[in-house]
Structure 1
Amino acid sequence: MTAQTSTEIKKPILHVSCVPRKDTTLLKISFSQDEVGILYRVTSVLYNHGWDILEAVAETSNDGHVQDLFVIRSWTGGEMTESLLSQIRKDLYSLFYESLSVEAYLHSYSKDFILSRKVGDPEASLKLYNPISSDFTVMDLRMKDTPGILFQITEALYQLGIDIISFTANSHDGKIRDSFLLRTSVSGDKLDEKTLFPLLRSKLETFL
């Protein structure tokens, strides 16, 4: 057995656990280093297994360790079993470590139609703004509650190089209000109002 050379790259450590609650489940996903597109991949897996994300918060320590916290709920009122958690862990491992693309993952379950699905909500409302007192861009989206919509949003943000720092969802009478704190993945700055705002709005409006 040879010693590991300095040129070898260690895979970031992935840890997945959950805490059952009364009507929801707290899902914890930890990485030993930050990774682009974490929420994009997580939403694809949870969508595939029939779970809504009601809230998500990303926490990054000074040494680059990332812990994402998700408040999730089954579409059918089911529980997060150890078997299901193990499958979610396995799916995430394939997406992060085995070069499996989200497109190929969804295709393997015959759910890749969502990649081009159009929700078609004429009452959907999208607001983007840069608060003076914040280092992040705020995005508010109001529309009908549709399974998988968060995945479609995270895919659009991922393709534009935009990070989601936190996300909350409020649902009432079949409508949802999703609020996001965003920043660019390269510089960590707010989104530019003259360039990224129009690109993001145009991207989202293709399926809203």
Structure 2
Amino acid sequence: MRIQRHGPMNPAITDVRNMEGSRSVMESSERAIFSRVAGRSGHRLDVGVLKEPAGYRLKIESDGNEVGVLFRLAAVLYCHNWSVMEAKISTPERTLISDEFLIRAGAAGQELDEGALKMMIDDLERLLFDGVSVLGYLTEHAREAPRPEIGYGEGQVFIRDLDEEVVIEVRGQDKSGLLLALSQAFYLMDISIMEASIFTDEKAQVHNLFLIDRSDIRFRNREFRTRLTEELRYLI
């Protein structure tokens, strides 16, 4: 079964790299290696994977979208010791998930073999559809949520208005669990991420863009934007 591909991301949040003349290798050789009705709620979960020189490209699609999905996905990758080098997060429709990650092993010799992939997919199903909390999941795996360092780092956070869209831009030094920490902050503040572009360069500098649900009227408030900017800066 081939994973169905959806339309392009919103032009307000194009990939942070210059992608002219290139395309995802998954467009020509992607194959679904896992597809089933997942969880007690009967949602569909499709996962495709492709090994590349830089790591593994993981494609996840489901019809179970809600606030906090990125938080749950990041928790699974964090607990299984995978670093996110690139990602494209999208919601082609409000009820759908269509996410693609380029992940790299956090330990020498770590492979995403059939057994490791099955454990990750089982965990995804539990967190996405079976009501398992992220904090409970982290405790189960004897992992703590990333803790921010005292004081502000050298990272930068901007909240921009682009073509009637609100985009949060995060720049800074990569660290273990950074995407998990950012997505946790969005979840706790009930901020819905409609699309995102994640990128880490060869010098471990991150450049992340998050497109916010345009119906969130809190972003019209300057004080809310200031408080959110400070909260996110504290994490990087």
Same-fold call, TM cutoff 0.5: yes
| 1:149 counterpart letter in structure 2 | L
Number of positions where the alignment pairs a residue of Structure 1 with one of Structure 2: 195
Please say if residues 33 and 64 of structure 1, whose CA atoms lie closer than 8 Å, have aligned partners that are also in contact.
yes
Structure 1 unaligned spans of 5+: 1-8
1:136 paired to 2:166: yes
Write the distance in 2 (CA, Å) between the matches of 1:160 and 1:62. Answer: 22
* Matched residue, 1:86: 118
* Higher relative contact order structure (alpha carbons within 8 Å, sequence separation ≥ 6): 2
Deviations 1:133-153 (A, max 9, x none): 35231312213x211111111
Q: Secondary structure at the match of 2:135?
A: helix
Q: Secondary structure at the match of 2:219?
A: coil
* Matched residue, 1:104: 136
* Matched residue, 1:95: 127
1:126 paired to 2:149: no
Structure 2 unaligned spans of 5+: 1-39
Identity value in percent: 23
Q: Secondary structure at the match of 2:222?
A: coil
Write the distance in 2 (CA, Å) between the matches of 1:121 and 1:54. Answer: 26
TM-score (norm 2): 0.72
Q: Secondary structure at the match of 2:86?
A: strand
Cα 1:206/1:181, change in 2 over 3 Å: closer
1:61 paired to 2:92: yes
Write the distance in 2 (CA, Å) between the matches of 1:82 and 1:193. Answer: 48
Cα 1:24/1:39, change in 2 over 3 Å: same
* Matched residue, 2:62: 31
Please say if residues 165 and 211 of structure 2, whose CA atoms lie closer than 8 Å, have aligned partners that are also in contact.
no
Write the distance in 1 (CA, Å) between the matches of 2:162 and 2:98. Answer: 27
Please say if residues 64 and 129 of structure 2, whose CA atoms lie closer than 8 Å, have aligned partners that are also in contact.
no
* Matched residue, 2:22: none
| Segment of structure 1 superposing worse, 16-25 or 53-62 | 53-62
Deviations 1:88-134 (A, max 9, x none): 1111111122211000100011112x25x123575422221323435
Q: Secondary structure at the match of 2:78?
A: helix
Write the distance in 2 (CA, Å) between the matches of 1:170 and 1:188. Answer: 28
Task: Find 1:158's aligned residue among 187, 194, 202.
Answer: 187
| 1:146 counterpart letter in structure 2 | K
